[in-house]
Structure 1
Amino acid sequence: MATRNDTCFHPSSFILLGIPGLEYLHFWISMPFCSIFLIAVFGNYIVVLIIIMDLSLHQPMYIYFIVLGFVDIILANSAMPKLLAIFWFQQNEIDFHTCLLQMFFIHAFSTIESGIFLAMAFDRYAAICNPLRYSATVTSSFIIKSTVLATLRGVIYILPLPLLLNKFHQYSSNVIVHSYCEHMAVVRLACADISFNDHLGMAIGFLVLVMDTVFITFSYVMILRALIRLTKKARMKSFGTCISHICGILSFYTPILCSSLVHRFGTNVAHHTHILLADFYLLMPPMLNPLVYGIRTKQIREQVLEVICDGPTSSLELHTILDMC
Structure 2
Amino acid sequence: MAYNLRSRIDNELMPDDRETFGGEQSEDEGDNVSEQSEFSSKSEPSEDEDLENVTLNQRILEQREQARGRPTTTLRSKNGTKWSTKPRTRVSDRMSTEERNPGPRNGAENCKNVAEFWELLFNQELRNKIVEYTNKQIQHVCAQMMAEGKAMQTFHYETDLVEMNAFIGLLYYSGMWKASHVSIIELWAKENGNTFYHCTMPKNRFEFLASTLRFDVKENRSKNDRFSAIRELWEMFIKNCQHYYEPINTMTVDEQLLSFRGCCLFRIYIKSKPDRYGLKIITLNDAQTYYLVNGIPYLGETGHPKTESSGEFFFRKVTAPIHGRLRAIISLQVFLY
TM-score grouping bracket, smaller chain normalisation: under 0.3
Q: Higher RCO, 1 or 2 (CA under 8 Å, sep at least 6)? A: 1
Q: Which has the larger radius of gyration?
A: 2
TM-score of the pair, normalised by structure 1: 0.23
Which structure dedicates a bigger proportion of its chain to strand? 2
Which structure dedicates a bigger proportion of its chain to helix? 1
